[in-house]
Homo-oligomer: A and B are copies of this chain.
Amino acid sequence: MNDVHLASTIAAAGRDRKCADGIMLETMTEGAAMPAVSATQGRSAGKDPAARRRAGRPSAAVLDKAGITVAALALISRKGYDGLTMAALARSLDVAPSALYNHVSSKDDVLLLVEDHLVEMVDVSGFGAGPWDAAVRRWAWSYREVFAQHTPLIPIIAVLPVANAPKTLAMYEAVTAGFGAAGFPAEKTISAIVALEAFVFGAAYDVTAPADIFDAGTLAAQTPNFTSAVDRLAAEQHPRPADVAFSLGLEALITGFDALRNR
């Protein structure tokens, strides 16, 4: 009964990784590194579970954090978060499950890598160019869009110390700078961002909710006000009701916070 997410086009867009974070240094030692790298990315449907490579340290490292992150993302978009098991992840990388633990300390650590990768897709380009309210609007919509496809990460990111996620920290820096440049009072900036983020996370869940979530069923007779209000909303025929609620709340927050700025 846990949430199964369909393949998301957004997640598939995260294919363009530059050159990893650090570890890639060892690839210069010998030419045998190349096939190892292609194995990390290309051979996802290898038929032999783990029969070719014998025990012991291989000449070129098979795994690194960047490769694990990409494989996890691909697995999630193919099978959803229920399909993301350490065994499945290992199989998609053509290694034994225990090999993963040389690079990550736990499954939560994998989720953290995924989270920090996804944050890069959040659009902060509006800050520093154009008006403040448009920047907030663009940021919030894209933020919600990304995590609506990855709601199982929300409980993690919501309480995650930023020191553990450099890309997430970079996003906060960009947003904070944008608030400051727009004349937002410094002592209220973090609180405002936290409030906007809380709204974004909660709204991300709404996107994935079933269409009939507000159908009271047999109890409709006992909830006349609620049922009537649901009908009134349905009569408006919005393609995505969650968008209406998100827009309504976001505009209220933007208007309210806008009034706090000095200019």
Contacts and interface: CB of A to CB of B under 8 A. Distances in A.
Contacts of A170: 223
A163 B216 contact: yes
Interface stretch (A14-22, A62-70, A72-80, A205-213): A205-213
Contacts of A218: 163
A173 B244 contact: no
B195 A225 contact: no
Question: What range describes how many residues of A lie at the interface?
Answer: 35 or more
Interface string A211-229: 0111111110011111011
Interface string A50-61: 000000000000
Copies of the polypeptide in the assembly? 2
Given A173-B223, A177-B225, A223-B169, A3 B202 contact: no
Best-buried of A162, A166, A197, A233 by chain B (most CB within 10 Å): A162
A236 interface: yes
B1 A176 contact: no
Nearest to A244: B191
Given A173-B226, A180-B225, A187 B235 contact: yes
A151 B155 CA distance: 8
A235 B160 CA distance: 22
